[in-house]
Structure 1
């Protein structure tokens, strides 16, 4: 017992401690192991909710399952944050689960990814494999049993098959025929933004939206938010709404042509204060290298240490052998083999280090300097000068010294390490991917659309990030790239046709069962036995 406690104390000390940099400023040394419970910010004061938002809050308080939709900038995420805080105060934190399909979106809500919550994984072929996986994960089983409310953001990126599997699992685990097994479901998203990852069959691409299967059965009420809080210029708001629906007039085209500039990479001067959004990874990587190379500050290079085999492959364009632009991690993730930093470089975390300080995968900041390693970590194998970068993060204002971390690929039974990679969990962040910026706002944005790759809703997702027309810059724009998926357009056409009908329906209040479903280990083991007996029949 004493040895176990001593090991735990040593682990805590290594994973979280403060040192004093050369300038005498307190900075935190962080690794990916000191993950704490997120803290919710206190309820904003003097909020003036719109009439539509007030309506949403009223239905949520009455225990209704609600679908919240609306264009970019209509306050969907801000409203969800308030709803989650309100519900946790009512039911307790252990009974309200905030989720989203991406890690960045999930953290904004103080939650977890939808796959992580469900416990189902990614590669199951059928519903019974899902149920088996959840039943053999006691924590996942407990989450489904304890849940009073499930919040799902960015539903537009969830396909119907996964969404229907979630519904079925909820009913099976909770042994209830009610929708979602009696869980109150709060879902938010805009289907005219980026769609789910398409499936390819015989060379054809298919998009499966969550609304395609018995959508209305999931909700007591569905509400569209229309008031734009991000942009204030009426001309800009009209432009965005037209782009959202994939229909632009001559005035819209003329306005976008005025915003058209030369390709950012070909411009005489690159602006490090601007955010560059691209549809492809390669374009974002090239922009980051070009900007960091243009800065006058002394460069500091960081390599990586790789052991084992099989965790890297080279992406090659068919018919073009010189297109070996990047070594891409197949499973271990992290960033490129070579990272070049300097003072003033904009960077992004690619691994969660400390949730309590908002230092999560996707958090951005500025390199403010470097400090000599004092021997607490092995940096010499990555940087011969033994320098560690100091980063001041945008969201929290925390200034932290970033240490290298090691990612391992384990054997399926976790008896040995197959391969590993050690490096700094950072990547340059001037150039970003459009699909990773949903819900974000920027003052100045350059949207690079020179690539032939342009997904449904991608132009709208990118342009709607900027707060003013003056801050918008375009390159490679063509009217044909403004696309809205026909099925999503049909969904909103039907949605508005039934809106008046929904407004006249009086939905009865729902009394939520305050008693927890049993979540004891014995009940979990009993559920597994019952499942095995059912399968064997």
Structure 2
């Protein structure tokens, strides 16, 4: 696709080789969703995908903005540089701090105060004044489609700070350098006449001739036959529900009810269909999920008619297709993000399992966004919001597949002058190869600044200051001075700086290793202290590895990202310096493991519970005290004379064998001399 779509390739190049904010827009059907999926599959950056609503988030395969950032739903007054109230868990802070790319889908519905709050949160977490804390944003959406929903009383508050309710009026977007890339190749519609009409509707410039062509699709009193899978798009939810109820109640035959299975967390506003789905044979339905099997029998938005129903299967025939599709319950997942081994991974927070169908004689225009229909009846005579007419009309693949319930008047095509003004001003934001090269160099500079940024170390060293007395003068102060001159540094000076910090970090790590055990011994919560110590040492080890590489090699952006990932993976997987592991390890861990295995085998032979042979606590005491005789074994709490006599010979033999092996190993290593 990209060989014939230079705009799409330009957008991908921007995401892979810069950290410039990208606003990716385009008419309906130009491949914005396809591009999102490509980025998710191919990008090497640590990313999260969010959307303003539950349904949009599920469709994009991400989370809602409010859920990821724990933002309130009401208006947020801009706080400038004030530190926001962030009641985040340490895990959430770590996750958001590690973000490199944030994708916001359906950004046309995002309010400006929400974007400003994201900027404030990321700047504070990352410890930098860069917009969004240096995280790259990919904003996907079409401003000619649905706009943010803001009540009058909310706008009375926000209107004092923002000129429009759109994301581009946010304070951060006024200062953040960004590019606007517009996809212009329409994949959904093939008829040029229809594409031209949609363009004019989108721009609120429809000519009398094209309006006449459009209204030629008005067929008064049109009622499709059962063999014609038309869906009615309407402005109000109550109208859509009424139409669906009227049609389904008119059908004869038994009504079947399918109840959804909901596990874990799955927000109600993201339910893809009804939890109690009532269907009848003859009902017109729409698939609400893509077929993930190799056959690809259905897709989200495909219309069909139910031919028969069995207890767990609904059979659907679509249009002129001869084959019935056997439809059984499928599962949607509500994902959350978590940081594992320095990588952002998707985890399943909850699921919604249901027959992937919904009644489809009618649907609201709002819920149709992102769908495509072969045959649709459209009623926008009561359109009340910007973009409604365009969204409805652009759902259709062909002009001939559309029927208008009422004629469309020019005043039904509602646009927002603020969007028109922005689109005109944003023409200068279209990038070319020269701009791309400049932004690549700026990205290199920002990664270089990141290499010598020790805010992460300052945050992690809290609680261990006594063991890091020289860090302030040797690392933090030097890095602060360096940051002011870094842009002028030649490659050899960068290498010297990397060598300096490698040596200082190595020295500091050694000091920490000596003193952390003492500080842990004084701590009331040793487990928390040990976990913090592990994070601190891992950060330092990863940065030492990076400094080591760039003390010997020229700094290149792509190499930096690869080396950073390798260093983090290595530091995360290296358990040799783990204080959590050391804290949880029992004295003579190897012997303890052998004794536990022996205990389980003995219990199995005697057909009793393992704890009836010896408790785990007693086994740990034996491993720690290493009793040399059966009498000494019997004196250990939990053993006693009877068990010492019964199990003593085997246990003492294992202890002696362990001591002999340990002695031999130490002699080989020269530790005894």
* 1:468 to 1:199, Cα distance in 2 relative to 1, 3 A: same
Residue 468 of structure 1: aligned partner = 398
Counterpart of 2:280 (choices 333, 339, 342) is 342
Q: Is 1:213 matched up with 2:170?
A: yes
Counterpart Cα distance in 2 of 1:392 and 1:219:
50
Structure 1 residues 202 and 68: CA distance shift in structure 2, 3 A: closer
How far apart, CA to CA, are the structure 1 residues paired with 2:117 and 2:197? Answer: 38
| Equivalent residues of 2:50, 2:102 under 8 A apart | yes
Question: 2: distance between equivalents of 1:112 and 1:278?
Answer: 28
Cα offset for 1:201?
A: 3.5
SS of 1:439's partner is: coil
Q: CA deviation at 1:47?
A: 5.1
The answer to whether the aligner puts 1:283 opposite 2:221 as a matched pair is: no
Question: Do the aligned partners of 1:391 and 1:401 also contact (CA within 8 Å) in 2?
Answer: no
C-alpha distance in 1 between matches for 2:224 and 2:373: 23
| 1:498 shift after superposition | 5.2
Could you tell me whether the CA contact under 8 Å between 1:69 and 1:188 is conserved in 2? yes
In the aligned structure 2, how far is the partner of 1:506 from the partner of 1:442?
41
Task: Note the residue ranges of structure 2 that are not aligned, 5 or more in a row.
Answer: 260-267, 319-324, 332-353, 461-527, 534-673
1:190 to 115, 121, 142: 142
| C-alpha distance 332-508 of structure 1, shift in aligned 2 (>3 A) | closer
Candidates 229, 234, 239, aligned match of 2:187: 229
Seen in structure 2, the aligned counterparts of structure 1 residues 245 and 455 have a Cα distance that, compared at 3 Å, is same
Say if 1:220 and 1:507, in contact at 8 Å, map to a contact too: no
Contact 1:390 1:402 in 2 (8 A): no
Q: Which has the higher helix share?
A: 2
Structure with greater Cα Rg: 2
Q: 2:64 aligns with which of 113, 124, 144?
A: 113
Report the equivalent of 2:26.
Answer: 70
Aligned to 1:436: 367
Please list, as runs of the form range in 1=range in 2, the aligned pairs for 1:313-328 lying within 5 A after superposition.
none
How many Å apart are 1:453 and its aligned residue? 4.2
Residue in 2 aligned with 1:148?
100
- Does the Cα contact within 8 Å between 1:71 and 1:225 map onto a contact in 2? yes
Q: Give 1:269 deviation, angstroms.
A: 3.9
Distance 1:53 1:333 in 2: 31
Q: Please state whether the residue corresponding to 2:439 is helix, strand or coil.
A: coil
- Report the secondary structure of 1:150's partner residue: strand
Aligned length: 409
Q: Is the 8 A contact 1:64 1:221 kept in 2?
A: no
Shift of 1:437: 2.1
The normalised TM-score by structure 2 is 0.52
Question: Tell me, what secondary structure is at the counterpart of 1:201?
Answer: helix
- Give 1:429 deviation, angstroms: 3.2
> Structure 2: how far apart are the matches of 1:193 and 1:485?
10
- Paired residues for 1:410-421 under 5 Å: none
- The CA distance in 2 between the partners of 1:176 and 1:470, in whole Å, is 55
Question: Structure 1-normalised TM-score?
Answer: 0.64
Deviation at 1:183, TM superposition (A): 0.8
Q: Is the 1:170–1:180 Cα contact (8 Å) retained in structure 2? A: yes
Structure 1 residue aligned with 2:7: 52
Write the mapping of 1:452-531 to structure 2, written as runs, cut at 5 A. 452-476=382-406, 477-497=408-428, 499=430, 506-509=437-440, 510-511=443-444, 512=447
Higher relative contact order (CA 8 A, sep 6+): 1
Q: Is contact 2:144-2:387 (8 Å) kept? A: yes
Aligned-residue RMSD, C-alpha: 4.5
Moved over 6 A (4+): 130-133, 202-206, 330-338, 354-358, 362-366, 391-394, 423-426, 500-503, 518-526
C-alpha spacing 1:112/1:393, structure 2 compared with 1 (3 Å):
farther
The residue correspondences of 1:8-407 to structure 2 (distance < 5 A) are 48-65=3-20, 66-87=22-43, 90-91=44-45, 95-123=46-74, 134-201=86-153, 208-214=165-171, 215-262=173-220, 267=223, 269=225, 273-295=229-251, 298-300=253-255, 302=257, 340-347=278-285, 369-372=308-311, 390=314, 399-401=327-329
Partner SS, residue 438 of structure 2: coil
Residue segments in structure 1 that go unaligned for 5+ positions in a row: 1-45, 305-329, 373-387, 404-422, 527-537
